[in-house]
Amino acid sequence: MLKIGEFSRLSQISIHALRHYDSLELLMPGHIDKFTSYRYYTLEQLPRAHRIMALKGMGLSLEQISIMLNSELKIDELRGMFHLKQAEIEQHVREQQQRLAQVEFHLHMIEMEGTMPELDVVIKEIETHKVLYQRIRVTGSEIDQIGAEIWKAYEKKDFIPNSYPAGIMYGDEINPDDYEFAFAIPVGDDQGDFTLPTMGTLEVREIPTVTAATIVVQGHNERQFIERKVQLQRWAVENGYEITEEMRVIQYKPPAITPREEWVTELQLVVTTS
């Protein structure tokens, strides 16, 4: 038999909580000394104690926990519930991190007001050309994986690009956990559709001629990247252009094998004139 203090240390449940669970008949002592009223527990009660704390950590009330324990919840069911809760918490963390990043971005833009950097913007006419193309809804981690596959196929000469592959972001607001992105790999007239393990088939299609306001960004800092995107959009508006939802991103060094600080990225904001 274990004294309540010993059981508390083994289960990582406070003595106060153990007494409370006893009063609710959620986790009752294995034995109570009738003379001293000391509570004693057994090692066999530890699994129930751990179940209580696991379910409590998932946000269930003690009443809900009591019902679930009385239904003899199996470990596989408990593990499944844990994975669901884990995914929920991870999603919440990502959302909070995104909110903090947005607040930091807006604060930084306020600080920069009046001291905006001079952008070396070049207006380009990007002619119609054929590409291997697929537009999908992705997360940031998926883009990294797919991009690595594309560069690997490129190095193996599975296809012969006419110039550097481009990524195309769509939408005014980029949510790193959910947004539309297209891979567009310039190819020759004899190129057929091409399949990658992760993203499936990239189809040959023509990209129409567009006008783009472009800048080159050295290195890859996420906040700097977003700032340059917004600054480029602002420059375009201030100089009489209408901005679109389309932003093309071209990496001039293979991201999969080049340190991030050495990346050379061209941002191409597709614009129109009134």
Does residue 245 lie in a domain region?
yes
**Within-domain flag for 36:** yes
pLDDT at res. 105? 65
Range of the structural domain that residue 55 is part of: 2-73
pLDDT, position 6: 92
Checking if the pLDDT of 270 tops 90, the result is: yes
The mean pLDDT value of the chain amounts to 82
Once rounded to an integer, what is the mean pLDDT over residues 29-54? 91
- Residue 131 forms part of a structural domain: yes
Length of the chain (residues): 274
Reading the block at residue 221, the tokens are 């800092």
Q: Given a cut of 90, is residue 15 above it in pLDDT?
A: yes
Within a domain: 267: yes
198 φ, ψ to 5°?
Answer: -85, -50
Residue 117 near residue 215 (C-beta atoms within 8 A): no
Considering the domain architecture, whether residues 28 and 164 belong to the same structural domain is answered as no
Question: Which long-range contacts (C-beta less than 8 Å, at least 24 apart) are formed by 220-227?
Answer: 220/255, 220/260, 220/261, 220/263, 220/265, 222/101, 223/101, 223/104, 223/105, 223/108, 225/265, 226/105, 226/174, 227/105, 227/108, 227/109
How far, in Å, CA of 232 to CA of 32, rounded?
74
The predicted-structure confidence for 107-147, as pLDDT tens digits, reads as follows: 766 666 666 678 889 999 999 988 888 888 766 667 777 77
The domain that contains 176 carries what CATH number?
3.20.80.10
How do the residues of the chain divide into helix, strand and coil, expressed in percent and rounded to 5? 40, 30, 30
**One domain for residues 148 and 258:** yes
Say if residue 180's pLDDT is above 60: yes
Burial of 241 (0-12, 13-18, 19+ CB in 10 A): buried
pLDDT in tens, 202-225: 889 998 999 999 999 887 666 677
Residue 1: per-residue pLDDT? 87
Q: What is the mean pLDDT of residues 14-21?
A: 93
Sign of dihedral through CA atoms 157, 162, 167, 168?
A: negative
User: Nearest CA to 224 among 117, 144, 99?
Assistant: 117
What CATH number is associated with residue 69? 1.10.1660.10
CA 119 to CA 162: how far, in whole Å? 28
Query: If you average pLDDT over residues 38-65, what whole number do you get?
Result: 89
Per-residue pLDDT of 230-264, as tens digits, reads: 888 888 988 999 988 888 988 776 555 667 677 78
Q: Are 262 and 126 contained in the same domain?
A: yes
Residue with tokens 């090692």: 43
Residues 151 and 237 in one domain: yes
| Beta-ladder partners of 39 | 32
Q: Examine the pLDDT at 174 and tell me if it is beyond 60.
A: no
SS3 189: coil
Tokens found for residue 220: 């890859």
pLDDT score for 173: 59
DSSP 33: -
Domain total of the chain: 2
Q: How confident is the model at residue 28 (pLDDT cuts 50, 70, 90)?
A: very high
pLDDT of residue 256: 59
Dump pLDDT digits (tens) for 84-116.
888 888 888 877 877 776 677 667 666 666 666
**Nearest CA among 160, 168, 145, 157 for reference residue 256:** 145
Return the pLDDT at 30.
92
- What contacts 24+ positions apart, CB below 8 Å, involve 255-261? 255/144, 255/147, 255/148, 255/151, 255/220, 256/147, 256/148, 256/151, 256/152, 257/151, 260/219, 260/220, 261/219, 261/220
Q: Inform me whether the pLDDT recorded for 20 exceeds 90.
A: yes
